[in-house]
Structure 1
């Protein structure tokens, strides 16, 4: 490890090409952005190639010397043979080192291949044991290292330490024409609402969210811009759009680049423990997040957001929270933990941030 680090550090005056691997999901990719922003600002001689889906390219478009290399994991790069093809392709890109921010089976196969090529390869320490211990209540209830810091640690292992407190959010992006056509002029406060997550246990109940939307809509000076994906989510958001004033659903109406330009111009984002919280945090937008059976102590809190903006269930009534790291395990009696969060509390926190 030390030899790899020293050889790369000795090359700091020259261009060093680092491959960054993170395949999915949206929130995990978004959390890379502040880390790379600090990295390329401190080490402008670096060239960064992010191995991920091309869909995520707009996230990195403002960062100098950062580009996307698409991993076609369902096509030419599928399986062990496909990963062999991918490794050969990347070797031709003259990679000097690899930062694996994912640590899954696919990246472990790539690690073996890059080792064969003699290219330094450092992996994230996900802290699985301490996260599982926290989720199973085997250890003291405490804040664990953030995912952002775990990402930064990988670059430190490669000889490029960074201080994430030096992060400066990018300027708000220019609103693209289609966003103007859909949202209209910015005469009111713009509140993003992302009421969905991968697991139902991380979603605020629909009837309570409707109360929140109704209350905020009635204020008259707030435009509620609702984000989601998929047919069922689209239908629910369109129902609220029709039912309440000042509500607009953008599902299926904007490209990802257009959504990012919109998110960067919000006044605040109300989100679950989900990807939209991390997208807004990139731009320094205040994020109010609602948590169910997960907890920000596990390390997935949106970047630079105060813990006071994380709205939690009644932890005295539900002491087993977090019940799992990702929200996919719900013990008996914990199905309705979010119902211990009154809508008035959510509305008040939103208004405080607006």
Structure 2
């Protein structure tokens, strides 16, 4: 067995994308073992990948600071790895890289494509073109380590157990639509009034609508929606991340911002309609196996303003995400489920 340590500490969507690549890698290489290093919350993404051991990093605890990273290095060194695949390329991961290089372990790290992403997001003279997909950038690291890796960019349905309490909903004959209405940055979030109208309309049409998210504020919002409309269910705070993945695997469709909801859908092979405002699929962050035709957005020369959605993106005085209307989303849903 060749043993590879893979590092990617955050963010949630990026780590989920790593999992899709590692699934493909392990299918193509039966002689490899992977040690995945990330935050303990994200262990759920890697549970069904063969010959993979998850090693948690605690950046605010025992692995904090330089001495903490040295402690992490000693933990990882005990695995006697053949190579390090740095899929993060940040300060923490590069410290670990340097320590492994000092003991002559082969290291390759992610090329984030900063130059072309800056050209795509700058205010003037944008170079507006499709950039390499992030999943292909991850795959390149393994190729640089000497491994062949082909990504087919096709959704692969993963059938999982139904969590306790979800059988009546997921086993019904109704079409089931998940909605991840939130994101880390406000410029990626469809205004709540518009999202509520989408939820209300879908519920009135007889769809089962399942709401995903995290945090107390999101829990309050989704529970209010669930109380107001029949066929709407809030899952926020009810299930662990692995159980949420179980639920998503049984959905007929996911609706998500450009956020982790899209990548979680990809991980279990569920089709996703994604909504894009300040960001753009051209930056390479579309979910693995998802289609550009399922990206809902309004073209404007100011878009995108950023890769991660952390900057305002005004289009004729309106935030880019606010250019998306509920009818655009609802029309696409009807198109998907209408008899062919």
Q: TM-score, normalised by structure 2?
A: 0.95
Match for 1:38 among 15, 20, 24? 24
2:38 matched residue in structure 1 = 52
How has the CA–CA distance of structure 1 residues 162 and 321 changed in structure 2, closer, same or farther, with 3 Å as cutoff? same
SS, match of residue 166 in structure 2: helix
Where does residue 221 of structure 2 map in the other structure?
236
CA offsets, 1:290-342, max 9 Å, x none? 111110000101111111100002x2xx3110011111111555553233222
What corresponds to 1:352 in structure 2? Answer: 335
CA contact (8 A) 1:38 1:166 kept: no
Partner of 2:87: 101
Please say if residues 192 and 270 of structure 1, whose CA atoms lie closer than 8 Å, have aligned partners that are also in contact: yes
3-state SS, counterpart of residue 164 of structure 1: coil
CA contact (8 A) 2:108 2:144 kept: yes
* CA-atom RMSD in angstroms: 1.6
Q: Deviation at 1:197?
A: 0.6
Match of 1:147 in 2: 134
Aligned to 2:70: 84
Gaps of 5+ in 2: none
- Spell out the pairing of 1:1-354 with structure 2 (5 A cutoff): 15-136=1-122, 137-165=124-152, 169-180=156-167, 183=169, 185-220=171-206, 222-313=207-298, 315=299, 318-331=300-313, 335-354=318-337
The answer (yes or no) to whether the contact 2:153–2:288 under 8 Å persists in 1 is: no
Displaced runs of 4+ in structure 1, greater than 6 A? none
Aligned residues: 335
Q: Deviations over 1:142-190 (max 9, x none)?
A: 1000100000000000011211017662531111224337x46333111
1:186-238 C-alpha deviation (Å, 9 max, x unpaired): 33111000111111110111111111111111112x10000011111111111
SS in 2 for 1:31: helix
8 A Cα contact 2:84 2:105, kept in partner: yes
SS in 2 for 1:165: coil
Residues of 1 paired with 2:144 and 2:305: CA distance? 32
Equivalent residues of 1:57, 1:67 under 8 A apart: no
2:68 & 2:287 partners in 1: Cα distance?
34
SS of 2:198 mapped into structure 1: helix
Q: 1:228 touches 1:234 (CA, 8 Å); kept in 2?
A: yes
Contact 2:7 2:87 in 1 (8 A): yes
After TM superposition, give the deviation of residue 267 of structure 1 in Å: 0.4
Paired with 2:286 and 2:230, the residues of 1 have a C-alpha distance of 31
TM-score normalized with structure 1 length:
0.91
Report the CA distance shift for 1:166/1:309 in structure 2 as closer, same or farther (over 3 A).
closer
Describe the SS at the equivalent of 1:64: coil
Query: Does the aligned pair in 2 maintain the 1:23–1:53 contact within 8 Å?
Result: yes
